[in-house]
């Protein structure tokens, strides 16, 4: 499991103002000597044991908040990725549109 996923999995649960459960935290790198990540887009997803997605969010500054969570064991997965935006014209029928991402490992996060 990546350091970001470990950090997300270790976040503490806290009740929100509407009586549901929430998890909040920061995405960090480096285990015991963890540092906040530079501005990188990270998707955080909460999964039930059966693989069902119960919540997800996108963080651009390292902070995240997942709200409305069920009271049960969940797995949090944090996936870091560069933000890529491309316009697509949708036509009738099937079409293919490949999206090119920068090569990894990212040298600016070392």
Q: Phi/psi of residue 107, each to 5°?
A: -75, -25
What domain range includes position 15? 3-109
Contacts of residue 85, Cβ cutoff 8 Å, sequence gap at least 6: none
Statement: residue 63 has pLDDT above 90: no
State the pLDDT confidence band at 47, using cuts at 50, 70 and 90.
Answer: very high
Nearest to 5 by CA among 27, 24, 37, 36: 27
What is the number of domains present in the chain?
1
pLDDT for 98: 73
Give the CA distances from residue 98 to residues 20, 32, 40, 41, 50, in Å, rounded to whole numbers and listed in that order.
39, 38, 21, 20, 30
Q: For the ranges 3-17, 45-59, 60-74, which has the lowest average pLDDT?
A: 3-17
């Amino acid at each position: 499991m990546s350091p970001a996923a470990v950090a997300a999995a270790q976040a503490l649960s806290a009740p929100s103002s509407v009586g549901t459960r929430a998890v909040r935290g920061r995405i960090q790198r480096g285990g015991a000597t963890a540092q906040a990540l530079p501005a990188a887009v990270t998707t955080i997803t909460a999964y039930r044991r059966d693989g069902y997605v119960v919540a997800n969010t996108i963080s651009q500054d390292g902070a995240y908040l997942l709200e409305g969570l069920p009271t049960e064991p969940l797995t949090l997965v944090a996936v870091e990725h560069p933000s890529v935006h491309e316009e697509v014209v949708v036509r009738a029928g099937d079409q293919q549109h490949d999206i090119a991402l920068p090569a990894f490992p990212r040298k600016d996060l070392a």
